[in-house]
Amino acid sequence: MASITLDTIKKPAVNSAGFTYSDLHLDLEFNYTRNNELKKIREIKDSVNDYDYACIKNSIFNLFTTIPGQKILNPFFGLNLMQYVFEPVSKSNAISISNAITNGIKLYEPRVSIKNLEIIVDIEKQQYEINLILGVINIPNSSFKLVGTLSNSGFYFNN
C-alpha cells in the first residue's frame, strides 16, 4: 500500500530570511531589477511578496470581501458581508457580522486567533466600524490591530 507525505502541513518555522509566512501581494505588482547597468534596462524580476502581518492582512481582506461561491475550487470560502451593505444598520446586524467574522476566521485563517472583536454601529453614516485585534499563532508575543469599515461602498481597511 502506498503512503503519501504532505510536507506542506508541517508547522511553519522562521526561515533564514527572517519571516514565518509569505504570500503574493494582493494588488499584483512586480519587482524590477537592472541587469544591464550600462543600458539601465529594467527587467521584471519577480512578483512582490508580503510577509507575516501584511500576508495575514491580505488574507483577512480576501476573506471579508469574498462572497461564498466566487471561488470555484472553494465554493464555501468567504463571509458574505455584502449581504449587510443594503440592509438598515442595526445592532442585531452588528451581532450577525461579528458571528460571521468570528466563525470565518476560525475556519479559514488558522494562523491567527481573535483577541478582541468590536463592531461599532454608526447609524448616522450608515456603516459599521470593525475593530479586530489578532494574535499570530506561530509568532510569539505578537498581535496586531485591523480597523475596517463596512458601508454601502463595500468593505475596506482604514489602516
What confidence tens digit (pLDDT) does each residue in 53-106 have? Answer: 888 888 899 899 999 998 899 899 999 898 998 889 999 999 999 999 999 999
Query: How far apart are the C-alpha atoms of 60 and 55, rounded to whole Å?
Result: 9
Provide mean pLDDT across the span 121-132.
94
In the 8-state DSSP scheme, what is residue 12?
P
pLDDT at residue 133 greater than cutoff 70: yes
Query: Taking residues 32-59, what's their average pLDDT?
Result: 68
In a domain, 41, yes or no: no
Where residue 64 sits, what CATH number does that domain have? Answer: 3.10.450.40
The band of 52, judged by pLDDT with boundaries at 50, 70 and 90, is confident
Number of structural domains the chain divides into? 1
Is residue 15 a part of any domain in this protein?
A: no
Task: Tell me what the mean pLDDT of segment 12-31 comes to.
Answer: 61
Over residues 126-135, mean pLDDT: 94
- The answer to whether residue 93 is domain-embedded is yes
Residue 21, domain member (yes or no)? no
Residue 104 lies in domain: 52-157
Total-model pTM? 0.75
Q: Which amino acid is at 46?
A: D
Residue 14 predicted with pLDDT over 90: no
For residue 47, the one-letter residue type is S
User: Is 65 inside any structural domain?
Assistant: yes
Q: Residue 132 half-sphere exposure, CB side, CA atoms within 13 Å? A: 27
